Amino acid sequence: MPPLYPEGIVADRYRIIETIGVGGSATVFEAEDLQTGEMVALKAIPAEEKLRKRARREMRAAGSLDHGAIVRMRSSAEDDDYIYVAFELVRGNDLSDVLKEKRLEESEILRAVAAVCDALEHAHARSVIHRDVKPGNILLREDGILKLTDFGIAQIDQPDATVDESLLGTLSYMSPEQVRGDMLTGSTDVWSAALVAYEALTRRNPYRSKNPVELSEKHKKLRLSLHRDRPDLPSVATKMIDRALDLDNQRRPLPGQLRDALLRGAIAMERGQADMDPSIEVPRPDARVRLRKRWLRAVPDLIEDLGHRDADARVGGEGTDAGLRVAALLERCQPYWPSALTGVGGAVLLGALPFYPTGWPIAIGILAAIVALRLPWLGAGLVLAAGLPLLGNLAFGLVPPAAILLAVWMTLMLRDGRRALLPLVAPLVTLCFAWALYPLIVGASPRVLVRAVLGGAGALAMTVALGLAGYGSPLTPTADLATLANRVAGTDDVIVTAGMVAASIGFGPLLLAVVWGALAVTAPAVLAARGTALLTAAGLWLGIGTLATFAIGVLLAGTLVAPLEIVMGAGAAGIVILIRARRPLTGSAAVENAN
């Protein structure tokens, strides 16, 4: 962690909005460049001598490159504590996350690494060697554009690192000569790119090591061969990847040669051929890949099935136009779900109680949705803050506790503002007898704390919303909630009001919040599984969650509470998971399952 944590306006130029990521030597923020009005990814590097040297090297390297598959540097500035380097803002995920979620076809993996090789060819032509090519430094924008990033340890012209810096890089993707500390050429980047492709297509990286000595031993003993491990893939690609993983850097292909072989392999796979006719000219590489979207990033295969049932038909332009149109529409709309949720949720929430004049809830919802297009956290905060007058109109004693909860909630969601209103989904899915889908949805968040908080908040939001609406909570014994609004109406005393609310809610929803929080935290383990492992993980996940929900009613009321709704809700999530499990395995997953 840097010694300080910059915030607000820094270097008299950049307004920091939220944190994107924190590393060992820098923090990356989403920020606004006040001089240009552009949103940028702002890298803040502590102004220490060694880090200053790396920062200047990164600026020099990135500033010399201009390629569609390389993150462009926009500007830089300094103050007493930090060096700030602004890059184009890439909204999306890095390749490691995308591969874990299996959001790329195998042909698209070849195209993605081909785009990386094209970027490397551009960099090497300008005497820039990246030295840290790995999935975490390959970004995929939400529209499928690939970007190679992080030239912080790049070698420019001649090695300018000290002896201690000769092993800079990520150990598991280092070439043999890099781990030895030899003078490097562009072939070290070719090795790393080929290893990224090998790992993506086999789901394993045999070179993962704890220290350089262990890695050196593996380099001596292991001889990787994608052609041997994946004989079902086009040999034009697998054989070239094997060449790129040769221990002798003189035998490796150039980035352009590896790129062309990967493109030939991708085209052959998309045409259903074993290999591409070598006489056919390779098209120009494209930095765009068909990134398969996830609706709320939780249940991907429902959308996937619409547009990817027949890969050959999609490439050749055949097949059902309706399915392709629906898939394309969903893919285009997916990035805007936080804005849509903010607008619709705001209009419904503000229209639930009488206070605002007719039409105001819709107007405020539209305004919040527009704000959320650029600043999801602020849009969500606007909706929730606009709800405070509704509570004050009912009982002024509700306002101070609600304001405190709002401040705590928005602080917790500072780095994940687009999910701040997701608890509003919980009452809807519960009314649809699908309560277990909510932990699956919020389980897509990459941060454990956010998953736990969203899961618990959804249970409480569902209980209070449905209880006050007169439905009563279908999962816990909270009958007193139905009359709470009448009992607190006109109450100004904060303590008395808080006591009535707490008594009406009781312990049941709190226990349910713990159950939903635990389900959300463990949901990624279910989403990451495949085949029979998915069925086992889902069975345990749904079974334990259902039994724990049943236990709440037995513990507090001495009887089962809404058993039908609980079972149906678990069944809805089970159907989604079953659809995932019944998809045919391909590639390495199929081979592994057969063995």
pLDDT tens digit string along 85-125?
A: 899 998 888 898 888 877 788 889 999 999 999 999 999 99
Rounded Cα gap, residues 87 and 42, in angstroms: 6
**pLDDT for res 117:** 95
Tell me the average pLDDT of the chain: 81
Contact 501, 473 (CB under 8 A): no
How many domains, the chain? 3
Contact 14, 77 (CB under 8 A): yes
Query: Does the model's pTM come out above 0.85?
Result: no
Question: Residue 444 burial (CB < 10 Å; 0-12/13-18/19+)?
Answer: buried
Q: Give residues with Cβ within 8 angstroms of 209, minimum separation 6.
A: 171, 172, 215, 218
Domain termination site, one of 208, 238, 270: 270
In which band, very low, low, confident or very high, does the pLDDT at 303 lie, cut at 50, 70 and 90?
A: very low
Whether residues 50 and 35 share a domain: the answer is yes
Whether residues 41 and 154 share a domain: the answer is no
Both tokens of residue 198? 């090998």
Whether residues 82 and 144 share a domain: the answer is no
Domain termination site, one of 88, 119, 146: 88
- With H, G, I as helix, E, B as strand and everything else as coil, classify residue 107: helix
**pLDDT for res 590:** 36
Domain termination site, one of 88, 119, 139: 88
pLDDT tens, residue by residue, 262-301: 999 988 888 777 777 666 677 777 677 766 544 333 333 3
185 closest CA partner among 245, 117, 243, 254:
254
Rounded Cα gap, residues 340 and 50, in angstroms: 45
Rounded Cα gap, residues 153 and 164, in angstroms: 13
- With H, G, I as helix, E, B as strand and everything else as coil, classify residue 12: coil
**Across-strand partners of 42?**
29, 86
- H/E segment holding residue 98: helix 95-100
Whether residues 225 and 77 share a domain: the answer is no
Percentages (nearest 5) of helix, strand, coil residues in the chain? 60, 10, 30
237 part of a folded domain:
yes
Distances (CA, A) of 46 to 116, 149, 151, 163, 325: 29, 19, 17, 22, 48
542 closest CA partner among 512, 572, 562:
572
Whether residues 67 and 136 share a domain: the answer is no
Tokens 């303590």 — which residue? Answer: 495
pLDDT tens, residue by residue, 532-590: 777 888 899 999 999 999 999 898 888 888 888 899 988 888 887 777 555 444 333 33
Whether residues 150 and 249 share a domain: the answer is yes
Structural domain of residue 50, as residue ranges?
9-88
Q: Give residues with Cβ within 8 angstroms of 454, minimum separation 6.
A: 419, 422, 423, 442, 445, 520
196 part of a folded domain:
yes
The domain that contains 209 carries what CATH number?
1.10.510.10
Contact 480, 500 (CB under 8 A): no
91 closest CA partner among 147, 17, 136:
147
Tokens 């950049």 — which residue? Answer: 14
Sheet of 138-141: strand order equals 92-94, 138-141, 146-148
77: left (phi over 0), alpha (psi -120 to 50) or beta: beta
In which band, very low, low, confident or very high, does the pLDDT at 473 lie, cut at 50, 70 and 90?
A: low
Whether residues 188 and 250 share a domain: the answer is yes
* Helices 360-374 + 376-386 axis angle, to 10: 160
**pLDDT for res 325:** 56
Whether residues 515 and 564 share a domain: the answer is yes
For residue 407, pLDDT beyond 90: yes
348 part of a folded domain:
no
215 part of a folded domain:
yes
The bridge status of strand 14-22 relative to strand 9-10 is antiparallel
Rounded Cα gap, residues 66 and 55, in angstroms: 19
446 part of a folded domain:
yes
pLDDT tens, residue by residue, 168-193: 667 889 999 998 888 889 999 999 99
Q: Give residues with Cβ within 8 angstroms of 486, minimum separation 6.
A: none
**pLDDT for res 113:** 95
Both tokens of residue 370? 């527009």
230 part of a folded domain:
yes
